[in-house]
Structure 1
């Protein structure tokens, strides 16, 4: 008997966080996160107009999940939405990229580290990957410090049209604890 693989990524759990595949009712949380000016700055992206974000959110259900394009979750702490996480193939190199964004009120509390560790475990255990990539703004000292703790290796700098520098890093998945 053949079973059809699920169209959503598996739910994940860390010590304090739940990684939950998005549901239609999570749309306003997603939009608010990605409309936050500070979040966009540290993600190295311009603010996207709200209607475009809503279209992007709907694509999670019409394209991303049904076609298994990549894994994306809402991140929850004690029932509150605190951010977004992805693990997907990157167009920058031959490999997978981890993406995480948290609401600013949850910064500096270890949640970013916990999200990245959860994504690393997923990449190693569920996808069988040996390494993953990340893109970190050159001025994002907190994320760069996390990369150093993960024994990440700097691959190259990517310079945007506006002159901003993003560091491409490679994270080995030998220890996903």
Structure 2
């Protein structure tokens, strides 16, 4: 089970069974699903995915996945997991459209990177982003990710692979 993470405005907690409707609503939103995986899935698939968070991901401690809350409401989804596609740990995040444009995406991505470098002890953290998703590409660039390569998808689309590298502490810098 992943630990609870806090940012100035967000609370990342393990999902609870009562989060299913909000999870499905998030993943069924066309603006969100456009950038997640293969796009909009049937509702039944999103419900099955939610069930697998408990039956597989949490039960087998496969990777960290969180419900993202603001003021007690579920407003997003976050993960950090090892993937072969990037040969390392990848962050995955999504926010509901009502949370867009307020800096919450930056806050969320920074929290995931900090967790990866600090708690997990990673030296690199990766993200994969559709080449057309300019907002996410800008966000990741602002927080230190650099474009390292492209993946051509089966459907002809292009996915950018970005990487953030942990910088070693200097003798005069603080670990915080």
Over aligned residue pairs, what C-alpha RMSD do you find?
1.6
Deviation at 1:172, TM superposition (A): 1.7
Contact 2:124 2:164 in 1 (8 A): yes
1:20 counterpart (13, 23, 31): 13
**CA offsets 1:28-56 (integer angstroms, 9 cap, x no match):** 11111111111111235221111111111
Name stretches of at least 5 consecutive residues in structure 1 with no aligned partner.
1-7
1:150 counterpart (140, 143, 146): 143
Deviation at 1:80, TM superposition (A): 1.3
Distance in 2 separating the partners of 1:109 and 1:88: 26
SS state at 1:43 partner: coil
Contact 1:43 1:137 in 2 (8 A): no
Deviation at 1:153, TM superposition (A): 1.9
Contact 1:31 1:50 in 2 (8 A): yes
In structure 2, the residue matched to 1:4 is none
Instruction: Note the 1:74-89 alignment, pairs <5 A.
Output: 74-89=67-82
TM-score by length of 1: 0.90
**CA offsets 1:98-151 (integer angstroms, 9 cap, x no match):** 000011111110000000011011111211111111011111111111222122
Contact 2:145 2:163 in 1 (8 A): yes
Distance in 2 separating the partners of 1:45 and 1:102: 17
Distance in 2 separating the partners of 1:106 and 1:158: 29
Matched, 1:169 2:162: yes
Deviation at 1:79, TM superposition (A): 0.9
Name stretches of at least 5 consecutive residues in structure 2 with no aligned partner.
169-174
SS state at 1:120 partner: helix
SS state at 2:35 partner: helix
